[in-house]
Amino acid sequence: MLQDLHAKNQILHCAIGIVPSSVVLTSFQVMSRVFLIWAVTHSVKEVQSEDSVLLFVIAWTITEIIRYSFYTFSLLNHLPYIIKWARYTLFIVLYPMGVTGELLTIYAALPFVRQAGLYSISLPNKYNFSFDYHAFLILIMISYIPLFPQLYFHMIHQRRKVLSRTEEHKKFE
């Protein structure tokens, strides 16, 4: 319940301009996190003790502490350089760490999902529709191949833009 409220607030904060982030990217990030927590980790109890869960939870936690510190100080018009630097630098390690944890967790869930037929719908049924959650999870994992590099290099570009601008300002001070 609290996670749900936090997710909605994150998207709302972007939509109304409280935080300067893309609504689309934030929505994608929030929905992927909700998916990983509820549709994978919560639903497949066997993966909850995997080290991979700890990996993505630590990466997400540190990322959110940095992100909200950045937003808070920015709203107060007093952004310490160390917070800006952390926001645009630590993702270099945290982003791959989180993605690795996410992918390893989904991978660990696959045998349990297949064995239990979790969230799968088989034919025949009155709707004449089938859904294979195991195959869906594999497609989710494959989707990381084109998406991760795009998002990662977007952040690299943002880092260059933001931190080089800061360095330029420091030269003139």
What is the reported pTM? 0.85
Active site residue 144: no
pLDDT digits (tens, 9 = 90+) for 69-81: 998 999 899 999 9
Domain ranges of the chain: 2-172
Of residues 71, 88, 102, 133, which has the active-site annotation?
102
User: What is the DSSP secondary-structure string of the chain?
Assistant: -HHHHHHHHHHHHHHTTSS-S-HHHHHHHHHHHHIIIIIIIIT-GGGTT-HHHHHHHHHHHHHHHHHHHHHHHHHTT---HHHHHHHHHTHHHHHHHHHHHHHHHHHHHHHHHHHHTTT-BPSS-TT---B-HHHHHHHHHHHHHHHHHHHHHHHHHHHHHHHHHHHHHHHH-
pLDDT digits (tens, 9 = 90+) for 51-105: 999 999 999 999 999 999 998 999 899 999 999 999 999 999 999 999 999 999 9
Of residues 50, 95, 144, 152, which has the active-site annotation?
95
Active site residue 173: no
